[in-house]
Chain A
Amino acid sequence: MKFFFPDSQDQVDPTFDFLTEERDPFRVRQRDDLYAHEVLKPPPFNGLLVSKAIVDGTAGSSTGKYTGPQRHRLYRQGARQFFRLNNGSTPLKIMGDCGAFSYVGEENPPYSVEEVVSFYEGCGFDYGISVDHVIFQYEPKIVHTDDAAAEWVRRQEITLDLASDFWRRCSASDVHFIPLGVAQGWSPESYAHAVKELQRIGYRRIALGGMVPLKTNEILACLQRIDDVRESDTELHLLGISRCEQIRTFADHGVTSFDSTSPFRQAFKDDRDNYYAPDRTYVALRVPQVDGNAKLKARIRSGEIGQGQAMLLERSALARLRQFDKDEVGVDAALEALAEYSAVWDRKADRTSQYRDTLESRPWRACDCTICASVGIEVIIFRGAERNKRRGFHNLHVFGQRVRRQLGEDDRD
C-alpha cells in the first residue's frame, strides 16, 4: 500500500528561530526550505501527488501556489530534482493529477488532455491521472436513467471520454509515465460501470474520485460492487482518502495506493484533533500572534484593547509554556497564562480542560520524530506557519507509523 502526500508548497524553514521568530532574510523559499521527506526518517509517505491546478493555476482563479520562477524551474529541472525526491532515506515516487476540486464549479474541466499530458511529461512524473470532473453526490438508489442523475451522468461521460483520449495520446506519444484513469460515480453501480469502461479502454490502474465526503461503509459498498467487474491485475487508487483503520480491508479490494492531506491539515485546520499520538489525538495550544489574529487586530485598531496589554499576555503565555516544558512551573501556571491571553482574542471557547489534558500528557516527549526531538513544546503550539507545519509533519510521521502498523509492517528504519 503506497501513501501519496498532495503537495501544496508545504515546507519548513530551517533558519526559523522560535524565540525571536525571525528567519535568515536571504533564505530562498522552497530551495532552502525542507520537505517532510527531508526532515523525517523514514519518509512518512511513499510519494508526492502534484496537481496541475496548484502549479499552473486555472484561468481566472488563484489556486496556483507557485511563483512564475518556481514553476519554470520545475519544468526545466523536472520533479525529481525540484522536489528533491532522492533526498530522503528512501527515494519517492511522484504522481500528477489535475486538481479537480479547484474547478468543481465549472461546466467543463479547464484543461485539455494535451496540456495535461505535457504537464506530466514535462515535469517528469512517474504516474499521471487522466483529466476528470468531480461528482459530489452519493445517491446509491438513483439509477443512471433517472432525471436526477442527468448532471452526474454528464460528468461521468466527460471523465470517461477524457480518459479514453488520454489513453490514446499516452500510447501515441510514447510517454514516460504510467497513466491512471479516473472513475467518477454517485453509487456503487455507477462506480462499477466507470471501472468497467476504463478497463475496456486499457487501464489497469484506476483512481476512484469524488469519495472524500463518503462514509467508510459507503466506500466499502462501492469497492465491493467494483470487485464484480475488476480484473485481477487492476490496481485501485483512492483519491483523498485516509481511513487508516480500513487499510487492510481496502487492500483486499484491490486498493494499492491512496493520498490524503488530512493528517497534515488537521494540525491547523481542525478544532481539536491537532496533534497525533499513536492511539489518540490532542488539541494544540493556541497562542496566536498579536498581529496575526484578525479579530484581535481589529479590536486593537479600534482602541478597545491595548496593544501593549495583548503583547504582554501573549509573551507571558509563550514564556509559561516554555517554563512548563523545562519543569520550572506546573500545569496550572501554564493554563492560567493561556486562559488570560485567550480572554482577549477568543472569549467564546473555553479549552481549559482540553489544554490540561494536552499539557499533562506531554505527548511531544514520547514522540520519536526529529521535529518533536528538536523543538519540544513548540510543536504543539498553534501559532504561525512554521510551528503549524512542523506539527503537520509530525502528524504525517505518526500517520505513516499507523499505516505500517495496520499493514503489519516492520516499523524500524
Chain B
Amino acid sequence: MTKQGRESRMVEAGNQKNVLHLPALEIRQGPNRRLYTFAVDGKQVPSFAAVSRVRRDSQQQLHGYQRPEVLAHVAAIRRYVESAESPMLPNAIVVAFDDRVRFVPADAAVVGPGYVRSGTLLVPVSDDWEDADKPGFIVDGQQRCAAIRDAGVEAFPICVTAFITADQADHRSQFILVNSTKPLPKGLIHELLPAASGPLPNQLRVRQLPATVLERLNFDERSPLRHMIQTPTNPAGVIKDNSMLRMLENSISDGVLYRFRGSDSALPNIGLMVTVLNDFWTAVRDVFGEDAWGKPPRKSRLMHGAGIISMGYLMDAIADTNGSGEDVPDTQGFAAGLKIVKDYCRWTEGTWDLGDGIPRRWNDIQNTPRDIQRITDFLVSTYSSKQGKRHDRSSRLF
C-alpha cells in the first residue's frame, strides 16, 4: 500500500488529524530548489517527522539511510538541554517533507529581496501515525531530536530547515552531504578547550584540566617549556602536544598532580600544578643541559614522546619519595633525584643498557607504548634502587 493510500484510510477511519501552522520563510535557492526555515517545539517533531532507519527488505532492496541513535551521544545532549546554564542548540535540524506539506505565502507583498518571502507552512500531524505515515523525515539532527524527546523539559523550540520532495534518493544524498564533513583536528580542540566555557561533553570536560595546564606551560613567561610545545598556534614547538598531554594526564590520575586535582567541593589547584611542573622541568633542563634540551626529537630523545612521558613518571617517583600532600620537592629537590639517573640516560648519543642484555642505540628508541614502558621502567627502577627506598613494613618476615 502506498503511503498516501494508508493515510487516506486512516482519515476515513476517523482519526483526528491536525495541521500545524508554522510561520516560515521560503527561500529560493537556484531555479529549482525551495527551502523553508521555521521554528518548532522539539517535543513536537516526532508527531510529523521520523528517522529513516537503514535496512534491506526481503528482496534485498535498500530502504532508509540513518544509523541507530548513538545513545551516549544522545545522553550527553540531553544532559546539556536539561542543564540550568541556558542551553542553546543553534544549528537547525534538516527535515525532508513529502508533498502533503504546503507553503502558503502571506498576503501582503513584503518589500525585500526576491529570493525570500514569508508565509505559513502547513504541516499535518498526528500522534497515531507509524513512522512510515509521517510526512517528514529527519535528514540531519536525529541525535538532537532524540535528546529533546527524552529531556525532562516542558518544551525546547528549535530551528528547522526543510525541503519538500517525494524522492528518497534526494533525502539520501542530502544525508550524505551533511554527514561527510571532517571532524575538527584533535590538536585544535585541545588548544581551544582552556578558553571554552559553558557545558561541554564530559569527555572534553575531563580534558580541559590537562589542556589548561599545558597552555600555561607553553605560554607563561616563567615556564621552562615556554613555546616548546607544538600546537596549531605554536607550530615551531619541539615537543608534541600529545606527548605532553599524556604525561600530564598520567600524573593527574596517579601521580603527584593528583594531590592538587581538588575534590567534590574544591576545584583543581592549577597554580600549584604549574609550580610543581615548572620546578621539575627546570630541573630537567638544568641536569640534562643544552645537549638534550630544546632540540627536535630526531636530535634528542628527551624531547620525544618516550622522553617526556618517562620523565613524567620519574617526576612522580621523586615526588613520592620526598613526602606527601603539599610537601613537594622544589627545583633542587627534583634535580637531586634526576642526577641519580643522569649517567644512565642516552638521550642524544650512545647506547642504552636497560639491563635486559639487549643494547639499544639512542635513536632506536621509538615513540611506541613498548619503548616508553621500557625506558620508564628502567629509569624508575634505577632511581628507586639507587635511592634505596623500601616500603614501610613492620619487620622482616623471612
> What is the interface of chain A, defined by CB distance below 8 A to chain B?
22, 25-26, 28-29, 31, 67-70, 72-73, 75-78, 80, 122-124, 126, 170-171, 174-179, 290-291, 297, 300-304, 306-307
Question: In the complex, what's the smallest C-beta–C-beta distance from B186 to chain A, in angstroms?
Answer: 19
Is B258 an interface residue, CB under 8 A from the partner? yes
Asked if B398 and A176 make an inter-chain contact with CB atoms under 8 angstroms apart, the answer reads yes
Is B202 an interface residue, CB under 8 A from the partner? yes
Asked if B393 and A176 make an inter-chain contact with CB atoms under 8 angstroms apart, the answer reads yes
Asked if A68 and B250 make an inter-chain contact with CB atoms under 8 angstroms apart, the answer reads yes
Assembly CA distance A177 to B391 (angstroms): 12
Asked if A31 and B202 make an inter-chain contact with CB atoms under 8 angstroms apart, the answer reads no
B376 interface neighbour in A68, A80, A170, Cβ under 8 Å: A68
A122: chain B residues at CB < 8 Å are 384
Asked if B373 and A176 make an inter-chain contact with CB atoms under 8 angstroms apart, the answer reads no
Asked if B63 and A72 make an inter-chain contact with CB atoms under 8 angstroms apart, the answer reads no
Assembly CA distance A78 to B69 (angstroms): 45
B56 interface neighbour in A126, A178, A303, Cβ under 8 Å: A303
Is B169 an interface residue, CB under 8 A from the partner? no
Q: Which residues of B268-319 are within 8 A (CB) of A?
A: 313, 316-317
4 interchain residue pairs of minimum CB distance: A303-B55, A124-B391, A69-B254, A78-B391
Is B396 an interface residue, CB under 8 A from the partner? yes
B316 interface neighbour in A73, A300, A306, Cβ under 8 Å: A73
B392: chain A residues at CB < 8 Å are 78, 80
A72: chain B residues at CB < 8 Å are 254-255, 313, 316-317, 376, 380
Question: In the complex, what's the smallest C-beta–C-beta distance from B291 to chain A, in angstroms?
Answer: 27
Is B53 an interface residue, CB under 8 A from the partner? yes
Asked if B255 and A170 make an inter-chain contact with CB atoms under 8 angstroms apart, the answer reads no
B253 interface neighbour in A29, A178, A297, Cβ under 8 Å: A29
Assembly CA distance A126 to B392 (angstroms): 12
Q: Which residues of B194-237 are within 8 A (CB) of A?
A: 202-203, 205-206
Closest to A24 in B: B264
Contacts A68-B373, A72-B313, A75-B380; is A80 near B254 (CB within 8 Å)?
Answer: no
Question: In the complex, what's the smallest C-beta–C-beta distance from B66 to chain A, in angstroms?
Answer: 10
Closest to B150 in A: A311
Contacts A25-B206, A69-B253, A179-B398; is A124 near B393 (CB within 8 Å)?
Answer: yes
Q: List 6 A-B contacts (CB under 8 A).
A: A69-B313, A72-B255, A77-B391, A80-B391, A171-B398, A174-B396
Assembly CA distance A297 to B68 (angstroms): 9
B67: chain A residues at CB < 8 Å are 301
A178 interface neighbour in B68, B202, B398, Cβ under 8 Å: B398
> What is the interface of chain B, defined by CB distance below 8 A to chain A?
53-56, 63-64, 67-69, 71-72, 75, 79, 202-203, 205-206, 250-251, 253-255, 258, 261, 313, 316-317, 320-321, 369, 372-373, 376, 380, 384, 390-393, 396-398
Closest to B56 in A: A303
B261 interface neighbour in A25, A28, A67, A297, Cβ under 8 Å: A28
Asked if A300 and B317 make an inter-chain contact with CB atoms under 8 angstroms apart, the answer reads no
Contacts A31-B253, A124-B393, A178-B397; is A22 near B75 (CB within 8 Å)?
Answer: yes
Assembly CA distance A206 to B55 (angstroms): 61
Asked if A76 and B71 make an inter-chain contact with CB atoms under 8 angstroms apart, the answer reads no
Closest to A171 in B: B398
B68: chain A residues at CB < 8 Å are 297, 300-301, 307
Question: In the complex, what's the smallest C-beta–C-beta distance from A289 to chain B, in angstroms?
Answer: 8
Assembly CA distance A158 to B211 (angstroms): 51
Most buried by A among B75, B255, B321, B393: B393
Question: In the complex, what's the smallest C-beta–C-beta distance from A230 to chain B, in angstroms?
Answer: 21
Closest to A26 in B: B206
New A-B contacts (18) at CB < 8 Å, excluding given A31-B258, A70-B254: A28-B261, A68-B250, A68-B373, A69-B250, A69-B253, A72-B254, A72-B380, A73-B254, A76-B317, A78-B391, A122-B384, A124-B391, A174-B396, A175-B398, A177-B397, A178-B397, A300-B68, A306-B53
Asked if A25 and B202 make an inter-chain contact with CB atoms under 8 angstroms apart, the answer reads yes
Question: In the complex, what's the smallest C-beta–C-beta distance from A24 to chain B, in angstroms?
Answer: 8
Asked if B53 and A303 make an inter-chain contact with CB atoms under 8 angstroms apart, the answer reads yes
Contacts A28-B258, A76-B320, A303-B53; is A177 near B398 (CB within 8 Å)?
Answer: yes
Assembly CA distance A69 to B396 (angstroms): 29
Contacts A301-B67, A303-B55; is A170 near B398 (CB within 8 Å)?
Answer: yes
A171: chain B residues at CB < 8 Å are 398
Question: In the complex, what's the smallest C-beta–C-beta distance from B131 to chain A, in angstroms?
Answer: 8
B56: chain A residues at CB < 8 Å are 302-303
Assembly CA distance A82 to B320 (angstroms): 13
Assembly CA distance A303 to B384 (angstroms): 58
Closest to B206 in A: A25
Closest to B396 in A: A176
Question: In the complex, what's the smallest C-beta–C-beta distance from B125 to chain A, in angstroms?
Answer: 18
Assembly CA distance A28 to B253 (angstroms): 6
Assembly CA distance A77 to B203 (angstroms): 29
A290 interface neighbour in B53, B63, B71, B79, Cβ under 8 Å: B71
B384: chain A residues at CB < 8 Å are 75-76, 122
Question: In the complex, what's the smallest C-beta–C-beta distance from A85 to chain B, in angstroms?
Answer: 12
A179: chain B residues at CB < 8 Å are 398
Closest to B320 in A: A76
A307: chain B residues at CB < 8 Å are 53, 68-69
Closest to A304 in B: B55
A291: chain B residues at CB < 8 Å are 71-72
B253: chain A residues at CB < 8 Å are 28-29, 31, 67, 69-70
Contacts A73-B316, A76-B320, A176-B398; is A303 near B254 (CB within 8 Å)?
Answer: no
A174: chain B residues at CB < 8 Å are 396
Contacts A68-B376, A176-B393, A176-B396; is A302 near B254 (CB within 8 Å)?
Answer: no
Contacts A26-B206, A303-B54; is A76 near B316 (CB within 8 Å)?
Answer: yes
A69: chain B residues at CB < 8 Å are 250-251, 253-255, 313
